């Protein structure tokens, strides 16, 4: 059974990477927006612009680092 799961994960490696990075970025987006807006009392439009733009670049970096994009 372990061999089967390992084989299936290996076959679907791009999907696993894409999903993992997507989930991580979504959670990071929520935490950073909460931090910037509620804790640091930054205006919403400014905080969301900075965070969404920064996470867009960070996601691209993660895809390059994990080998998802060539």
What's the pTM value of the predicted model, to 2 decimals? Answer: 0.80
- Report the C-alpha gap between 37 and 30 in whole angstroms: 11
> What pLDDT sits at residue 70?
65
Domain locations along the chain? 15-66
Taking only the tens of pLDDT, the chain with its 70 residues reads 888 888 888 888 888 888 999 999 999 999 999 999 999 999 999 999 999 999 999 999 998 998 877 6
| Buried b / exposed e along 11-20 (16+ C-beta atoms within 10 A) | eeeeeebeee
Angle at 48 between CA 36 and CA 39, to 5 degrees: 15
> What pLDDT sits at residue 10?
84
> What pLDDT sits at residue 49?
96
């Amino acid at each position: 059974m372990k061999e089967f799961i390992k084989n299936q994960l290996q076959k679907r490696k791009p999907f696993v990477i894409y999903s993992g990075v997507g989930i991580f970025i979504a959670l990071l987006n929520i935490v950073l927006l909460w931090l910037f807006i509620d804790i640091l009392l930054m205006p919403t439009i400014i905080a969301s612009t900075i965070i969404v733009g920064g996470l867009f670049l960070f996601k691209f970096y993660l895809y390059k680092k994990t080998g998802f994009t060539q």
